[in-house]
Structure 1
């Protein structure tokens, strides 16, 4: 099913001034609309981007003539489009002339002309054109290759009609792209332009846009007269949101979530911005918890985001409920065009895990181009990493990043990246993975996702084996407890592990926890018997037995026990379990949390499921091995945190409901 953006950006182009326009005057100005792929959230290309573009052009054509003709001394825009790594449509003079993309196999930025770009390049004699007989389709191989000094050529039929692009490989020409959208180029003056030209001409439109956002913020605070906090990340969007909030309110405070994975330039920018505006800065610091936790969980993944829970969610929740127990108005730099989820977000919301904050984004409907023009219009202190071609900021090793972005980090901060590379190499060996697991970023997925398999096809003699990877992840974890044999027979389940399941210390913690969760526990000397109304689970040595094992209730009782056991071994002291249970319900010990009283209902689920070991390590690596499916964590019978309204959620996933128990020290009134 094709996913359609509910909101898209329209970028207008003034053909005479040869610049983009954010707010045309109806019935006065005659502008082109730039034909961009959705959502069309293009941004200006900075010096680092232009260097990548020039080098890519030289790689394809052996010289920079195409670059000098189309991009030099021009305001160039880049529009990110879907790609298995990173690709931008390249806009110059109101036309999408090509695509700049990263090739991880060659570890190079590449460039391909669009039909429009090819039309103009051939017309100006900048690239070679090859005319072929027969059908022209992607993947067709032509031998011998035409005589050319260029790596990439434009392919035409015998009538001279442009059909696509070919690349020279040895003595062959391979058709790598065929043109489907044959849009004729729009005509512009082609005069030299810069970002400052666009800023100057768009001043009126930018001020109208800003005034609308400022008015919205003032109306919102009249309705909710709360203290104002701005969540500042060091990125461009939160900078614009901060500036608008400062103009709307004057008095506010800043909150920065230091995950321990921020780039040095980002840290510098946060303090620079705080000083520039003269506002108090609060830092929600995660310390070194990521580097400790990675020994338990292994590398995070797009589908295994334990890092967000320990390094973002808990520090922010703990800090803000201490600062504003009675609530605050939280200004964030969220934009609709960043993702489909954010495109559907309301302008104000409450996150389940920080319900005391009423969050809003004054730039929800702003485009990247509008944000950048506003920043330069008001000379705001933006993060200088953008000038070096960084496209996104935040945790430098985020698994949602493209390999191209990792290369930028490695080039700019080799020692910082080296620390992460050594961790990846250690886990590569633990998981028995090939070198490409690191080089091609296969570590960015835990599950055998289609994107992971697509990349894995390029690795010789490599097959994605999730069972082996999950087992070795558990063995390589500091928990060091993995199921080696699972036997289901006669209405029973027997699971044998690599070692004794319960050490004496952990046995005591597990016993206290299971009793606090409402289970009956019998000490069997070296083992335990844990019982519920429906299930009896016996642990002896390295084996556990579940009787009966005929219903979903039996499985879920087993899952409860395994979650308690694994977090007793691997607790990283994030405090999530304590933060979300009623005061006086539990305490954190050296071997993880223990309940101080009997927990039931919602408190029981929060205590158990808010834990990232429960929610991620157990649900996404252990249970799949027992059930036999990597999708086991999606099972309908899974016991989840249930809100007062009956909806369910996973810790860290933003939603608009509040939990039944506010964080300790917070008020349940808003």
Structure 2
């Protein structure tokens, strides 16, 4: 076997992002370890390690842009790619070849397209035009040159540096007659081949007085598609040793924890969402724990895709698996008018539709005082926020639940190869353009997939879209605000603000944003497990803002996915949700009151901060940042909880009277 770098190695190494530390809400730089796949030149298949299970031929290494969660192109995406190639270049030279997609950062759904080990371009959803496009790469141009006879500009030989340059008509030798202004084109100059953007139509290419072409990138090379067209079965066979190894490791993780003395007699629950990852985990658990009581539980949020609900039930029925389904029923729609549409930074729906039903299952599972042993399909390559998943973790948000993550190190391509190898039935939504198959209106869903919802389920789409339009109009926002997916954030990120500016879409609502308010929704009452609890409703503070400041009171765990921050203090805990719900639990009634008061003060401070800078001057350890992207007030890990910033805060000068009035109903 001979290993070398791929000729099309134009991929970047994974970017480094932060993850949430379990002890403090801090950001530690991490990167996904596996940023590489391999390609067997002889078999023409992707490999997940350096060895081919079929031959000992030449192996290419391919670097992937982060997070590196590469997968096979779905039938819908392959059809879409073919149509784009036909539209832009007049033919689809890929035929029946294996096509891989590697998710990369972008406005919306964006992926590198890898064929025969070559990065031939990017398939993306354009948020301005709300449609898909294919952007050919230099490697793609070199592959397609000679296979197609369209959208090509040939330049005269020149010694000038062409990369990034605009070219005048004097340098044009010839061009095909199908080029329009703004079209991506293949650029040829001698033995150099690359890509560019046409600045004029074909008719004016050789005569215009202005620049006619901008060369994006051009280089020497003679890349070609392989003479061998591999099949999915070929890929499975070549990766079979690797699949057996990672499958065995995953089963050992499950058996190792589930067979511990304190867990041996417990039933095992698999969190089965109907997605590909939970499907694989369910199959692995059944294989690893033969003879054990294995059950699947499904949290039906009431806003699941119909295909997902049907698949969960049919799969469990066909395999004789006991299914425990906890339903949120109409909880989402009943709370929608109060909270408005959920957002990536305001995921109140997770508490209402997931944590509630999950809590009911966990309580039932652990009613005899034990833990609820749960096998979960979370993977660190799904997002940077999951990149530090351990083999097992106690759920900080759901007491008495121990989660096991046996495929935490798997990438999407490994999940799919396992499914194909084991011939498992899977959710049909994956074949028609969806990567997420849970809640159909989840704000984390991409606009590209939301457009597919309109095609597949027009009545469901119309109900949700009608609400969004009504909501936007009530805020003085345009229909275009909804159409371009801006409802999916409570505070728009820079990329969406830039898009809105380019499209002339107003992003500031005309209605006044909620002012700070906190109201008790329950009195101080004894807990079943001991101690006391009190609940309140908070307005005017985002959960991200709360997370940025509350760690001065104790250690915090922030879950952006659940829209929740958990604060652990000496003798109590505080849970604050993006819905505005606040729950305090403490050893005594007095300490519960103290925790509530201390938390309310910091939330008021986060909401009303004027960035005057007094707190910066009194902090002895420089633990405070003001006006950063992390929040108006951000307390970092060096905080020693001395309280000097609280004592010196102008906003909190009269907080005792303000909060007392709010908490006692005198506003």
Q: Normalised by the size of structure 2, how large is the TM-score?
A: 0.69
CA deviation after TM superposition for structure 1 residue 366, in Å: 1.5
Whole-Å separation in 1 of the counterparts to 2:586 and 2:64: 58
Partner of 2:31: 5
- Residue 258 of structure 2 corresponds to residue 260 of structure 1: no
Aligned in 2, Cα 1:228/1:34: closer, same or farther, shift over 3 Å?
A: same
Partner of 1:415: 459
Given that 1:234 and 1:393 are in contact with CA atoms closer than 8 Å, whether structure 2 keeps it comes out as yes
- Residue 248 of structure 2 corresponds to residue 232 of structure 1: no
Partner of 1:635: 633
Given that 1:300 and 1:399 are in contact with CA atoms closer than 8 Å, whether structure 2 keeps it comes out as yes
Partner of 2:193: 162
Given that 1:102 and 1:110 are in contact with CA atoms closer than 8 Å, whether structure 2 keeps it comes out as yes
Whole-Å separation in 2 of the counterparts to 1:77 and 1:190: 16
CA deviation string 1:514-552 (max 9, x = no partner): 999xxxxxxxxxxxxxxxxxxxxxxxxxxxxxxxxxxxx
Partner of 1:305: 347
Q: What are the equivalent positions in structure 2 for 1:469-480 lying under 5 Å apart?
A: 471-472=511-512, 474=514
CA deviation after TM superposition for structure 1 residue 407, in Å: 0.8
Q: What are the equivalent positions in structure 2 for 1:111-130 lying under 5 Å apart?
A: 111-130=134-153
Partner of 1:83: 106
Q: What are the equivalent positions in structure 2 for 1:200-211 lying under 5 Å apart?
A: 200-211=237-248
Partner of 1:281: 323
Whole-Å separation in 2 of the counterparts to 1:217 and 1:117: 43
Whole-Å separation in 1 of the counterparts to 2:371 and 2:440: 31
Aligned in 2, Cα 1:384/1:603: closer, same or farther, shift over 3 Å?
A: farther
Whole-Å separation in 2 of the counterparts to 1:515 and 1:364: 40
CA deviation string 1:37-95 (max 9, x = no partner): 2333221112111111112212322x2x2x2x22x111111111111111111111121
Whole-Å separation in 1 of the counterparts to 2:59 and 2:450: 38
Whole-Å separation in 2 of the counterparts to 1:299 and 1:114: 38
CA deviation after TM superposition for structure 1 residue 376, in Å: 1.3
Aligned in 2, Cα 1:169/1:346: closer, same or farther, shift over 3 Å?
A: farther
Whole-Å separation in 1 of the counterparts to 2:582 and 2:51: 63
Which residue, out of 12, 16, 22, partners 2:42? 16
Partner of 1:272: 314
Given that 2:392 and 2:405 are in contact with CA atoms closer than 8 Å, whether structure 1 keeps it comes out as yes
Given that 1:430 and 1:472 are in contact with CA atoms closer than 8 Å, whether structure 2 keeps it comes out as no
Whole-Å separation in 1 of the counterparts to 2:112 and 2:399: 39
Whole-Å separation in 2 of the counterparts to 1:607 and 1:338: 38
Aligned in 2, Cα 1:247/1:129: closer, same or farther, shift over 3 Å?
A: same
Which residue, out of 89, 105, 128, partners 2:128? 105
**Unaligned stretches of 5+ residues in structure 1:** 475-481, 484-500, 517-555, 557-573, 583-590, 639-670
Aligned in 2, Cα 1:169/1:230: closer, same or farther, shift over 3 Å?
A: farther
Aligned in 2, Cα 1:212/1:632: closer, same or farther, shift over 3 Å?
A: closer
Whole-Å separation in 1 of the counterparts to 2:287 and 2:375: 13
Given that 1:259 and 1:285 are in contact with CA atoms closer than 8 Å, whether structure 2 keeps it comes out as yes
Whole-Å separation in 2 of the counterparts to 1:275 and 1:14: 40
**Unaligned stretches of 5+ residues in structure 2:** 1-14, 18-29, 206-210, 527-548, 550-563, 573-580, 612-626, 637-667
Which residue, out of 214, 218, 233, partners 2:255? 218
Given that 2:433 and 2:449 are in contact with CA atoms closer than 8 Å, whether structure 1 keeps it comes out as no
CA deviation after TM superposition for structure 1 residue 345, in Å: 1.5
CA deviation after TM superposition for structure 1 residue 438, in Å: 0.7
Partner of 2:177: 148
Partner of 1:562: none
CA deviation string 1:4-24 (max 9, x = no partner): 623224322222222223344
CA deviation after TM superposition for structure 1 residue 235, in Å: 0.7
Given that 2:166 and 2:215 are in contact with CA atoms closer than 8 Å, whether structure 1 keeps it comes out as no
Given that 2:73 and 2:99 are in contact with CA atoms closer than 8 Å, whether structure 1 keeps it comes out as yes
Aligned in 2, Cα 1:456/1:48: closer, same or farther, shift over 3 Å?
A: same
Aligned in 2, Cα 1:422/1:84: closer, same or farther, shift over 3 Å?
A: same
Whole-Å separation in 2 of the counterparts to 1:6 and 1:333: 17
Larger helix proportion of the pair: 1
Aligned in 2, Cα 1:605/1:598: closer, same or farther, shift over 3 Å?
A: same
Given that 1:137 and 1:175 are in contact with CA atoms closer than 8 Å, whether structure 2 keeps it comes out as no
Partner of 1:425: 469
CA deviation after TM superposition for structure 1 residue 595, in Å: 11
Which residue, out of 79, 84, 87, partners 1:56? 84
Aligned in 2, Cα 1:143/1:102: closer, same or farther, shift over 3 Å?
A: farther
Partner of 2:445: 401
CA deviation after TM superposition for structure 1 residue 135, in Å: 6.3
Q: What are the equivalent positions in structure 2 for 1:203-602 lying under 5 Å apart?
A: 203-223=240-260, 224-225=263-264, 226-250=266-290, 251-325=293-367, 326-460=370-504, 462-465=505-508, 468=509, 471-472=511-512, 474=514, 599-601=589-591
CA deviation after TM superposition for structure 1 residue 201, in Å: 3.6
- Residue 73 of structure 2 corresponds to residue 45 of structure 1: yes
CA deviation after TM superposition for structure 1 residue 404, in Å: 0.6
CA deviation after TM superposition for structure 1 residue 203, in Å: 3.0
CA deviation after TM superposition for structure 1 residue 249, in Å: 0.9
CA deviation after TM superposition for structure 1 residue 282, in Å: 1.4
Q: Normalised by the size of structure 1, how large is the TM-score?
A: 0.69
Given that 2:139 and 2:223 are in contact with CA atoms closer than 8 Å, whether structure 1 keeps it comes out as yes
CA deviation string 1:389-442 (max 9, x = no partner): 212222212222221111111111111111110111011101111222111111
CA deviation string 1:215-234 (max 9, x = no partner): 22111222243321100111
Indicate the SS of the match to 1:101.
strand
Whole-Å separation in 1 of the counterparts to 2:586 and 2:607: 31
Indicate the SS of the match to 2:97.
coil
CA deviation after TM superposition for structure 1 residue 199, in Å: 2.2
Given that 1:329 and 1:358 are in contact with CA atoms closer than 8 Å, whether structure 2 keeps it comes out as yes
Partner of 2:651: none
Indicate the SS of the match to 2:128.
coil
Q: Please, what is the CA RMSD of the aligned residues?
A: 4.2
Given that 1:129 and 1:154 are in contact with CA atoms closer than 8 Å, whether structure 2 keeps it comes out as yes
Whole-Å separation in 1 of the counterparts to 2:345 and 2:220: 38
Whole-Å separation in 2 of the counterparts to 1:327 and 1:623: 37
Given that 1:136 and 1:163 are in contact with CA atoms closer than 8 Å, whether structure 2 keeps it comes out as no
Whole-Å separation in 2 of the counterparts to 1:356 and 1:181: 59
**Range 128-137 or range 244-253, more displaced:** 128-137
Given that 1:624 and 1:633 are in contact with CA atoms closer than 8 Å, whether structure 2 keeps it comes out as no
Given that 2:274 and 2:309 are in contact with CA atoms closer than 8 Å, whether structure 1 keeps it comes out as yes
CA deviation after TM superposition for structure 1 residue 355, in Å: 3.1
Given that 1:214 and 1:245 are in contact with CA atoms closer than 8 Å, whether structure 2 keeps it comes out as yes
